[in-house]
Amino acid sequence: MAQDAATLKSILTAAPVVPVIIHDDVASARNLAEALVAGGLTTLEVTLRTPNALKVIAEMAKVAGAVVGSGTVCKKADMEASRDAGCRFMVSPGAPVALLEAAEDIAIPLLPGIASPSEAMAASLMGYSYLKFFPAEAMGGAPVLKSFASPLPDISFCPTGGIDLEKAKTYLRLPNVVCVGGSWVVPGETIAAGDFDAIRSLAAQAAQLSA
């Protein structure tokens, strides 16, 4: 089965920004998800970069309105664990053929990362029409992604990597951008301080952007 484009489109278009979350504290996971959803960001990517990431995902998935996915998915075992934790989608930093093939056995959609036209074309040939452009700023940013639009008209992108509120505005004006991913809405020091009102405010500011 190729990428479930319809399901992924509904997930990625729910809000203009997908928070990229690195979080290990299971006890505060629901508070964080509730703050983001209250601010208007309902699609949440929790990266598999911490020991308790899957437990955090499971807790966030209990929050009403939250659509929780996993990030930094690099192998089939990550996909299986993501599915079992209650993920609704998955995000990978790259798009190796073996990973895309493995995703065919998983019931939730994968958003693979690409950094070049060749990688985007290879994923497209395997049925993927929604891709992550990563690492966006390091690979040339919005001007590069803009140049993809004409030769690759059937692909939509979620740029991620080095994006802040102002850069997000530029990306979201591009015709081939469906949303952006960013960690600026979930600053670690703010979360550590338990200031979830501030997180909600950051989310609300991001939710007002338009794609």
Active site residue: 34, 59, 132, 167, which one? 132
Q: Please say if 45 is a catalytic residue.
A: yes
Active site residue: 34, 45, 59, 167, which one? 45
Q: In this structure, what are the phi and psi dihedrals at residue 187, rounded to the nearest 5 degrees?
A: -60, 135
Q: Please say if 132 is a catalytic residue.
A: yes
Q: Supply the residues annotated as catalytic.
A: 45, 132
